[in-house]
Each structure stands twice: as structure tokens, then as C-alpha cells.
Amino acid sequence: MQKLKYPIGKFEYGKTYSAEDNARHIREISFFPTELATLVKQFGFELLEKSYRPGGWTARQIIHHLADSHMNAYIRTKLTLTEEAPTIKPYNQDKWANLADSKTVSVETSVKLIEAIHYRWVYLLKSLTEQDLQRTYIHPEYNREFKLDELLALYAWHGKQHYAHLKIIIANQ
């Protein structure tokens, strides 16, 4: 069950990232919308309602969650760059995934949203210095500071993690 929940493994918090790591994470974030759009073309209506594991989200919920989550990451990035160690606003991703829009809206809307968010986010990320990437925000659920370079690593992982969930659904159709 853990292998289905974390097919690429759990994210490792608290690591140190090099300039090369940061550049790789930005590349991964930049490529994600195209990779996702290509994968989503393989989903018909019935497959969008399937889950990757018992009790897990459906493909539709995963795709909408990616848009929700990456919008929050983009906003957290901007807050961190414009405020001194801001405390970010967490959200209940399970409740968001069960709202009507996440359960019924066409996934193409979220694919387009991800493309637009990532375009602006990557444009901003490419302008940052290594010093900028050391700026921090506070996540109240974890009660600790996160550096922007860790946010980059987390969201590069996040996209790959949910992409793997979608691949599991396709493989089990």
C-alpha cells in the first residue's frame, strides 16, 4: 500500500540543495505542464473516475489537486520574496479535493491553469539568485521555516509523485 501511496518514495525534508540541484528542479517544474498534458490525453471519462489505490483520489481529483497545490506554491514563492519570513496559509487538500469543482469540472481547465501558472512561476524562478532561494517562509502545520530552494525540490517531487499516480491508473485500466 505504501508503494502505491508513494510510488517514487516520500519527500525528504531538511536537505541542502546546490545551485545545480536548484537549476534541475526549475527545469523539472518547467517541463511538468507539457508532460502532464501529454499524459492526460490518455484519459477518457471512465478512467478519470478511477483511483490509483483503495481510498485514494481519482485521476480527476489528482489533476485538479495539482492545479490547486501549484497555485499555492506560486503564491508562497511570491510571498517569500516580498515579505520577511511570512507565515503562509495552509489548506486542507483532502477537503479541497472533495469540492464539486475537483470532482466534476473538466480536467482540461486545470491542465491549462497549470500551464499558465508554471509559465509565470518558472519565469520568476529563473530570475532568482541563489541568495533569493535561501529566503524563508514559515509553514504553521510543520512549525518550521522552509527555504525557497526546498520548495523547489518539494514541487519538482510533487509533480513527479502525482504523475506516477496517474501512470498507475493507466497501467491498471
pLDDT tens digits, one per residue of 92-112: 999 999 999 999 999 999 999
CA distances (Å), 146 to each of 92, 128, 157, in order? 19, 16, 16
Number of structural domains in the chain: 1
The model's pTM is 0.96
**pLDDT tens digits, 10-65:** 999 999 999 999 999 999 999 999 999 999 999 999 999 999 999 999 999 999 99
Q: Indicate which CATH number applies to the domain containing 149.
A: 1.20.120.450
**12: in domain:** no
**124: in domain:** yes
Structural domain range at position 24? 19-171
**114: in domain:** yes
Q: Which residues, other chains included, contact 121 with Cβ-Cβ below 8 Å and sequence gap of 6+?
A: 29, 70, 73, 74, 77
Look at residue 41 and give its three-state secondary structure: coil
Tell me the C-alpha distance between 138 and 87, whole Å: 4
**13: in domain:** no
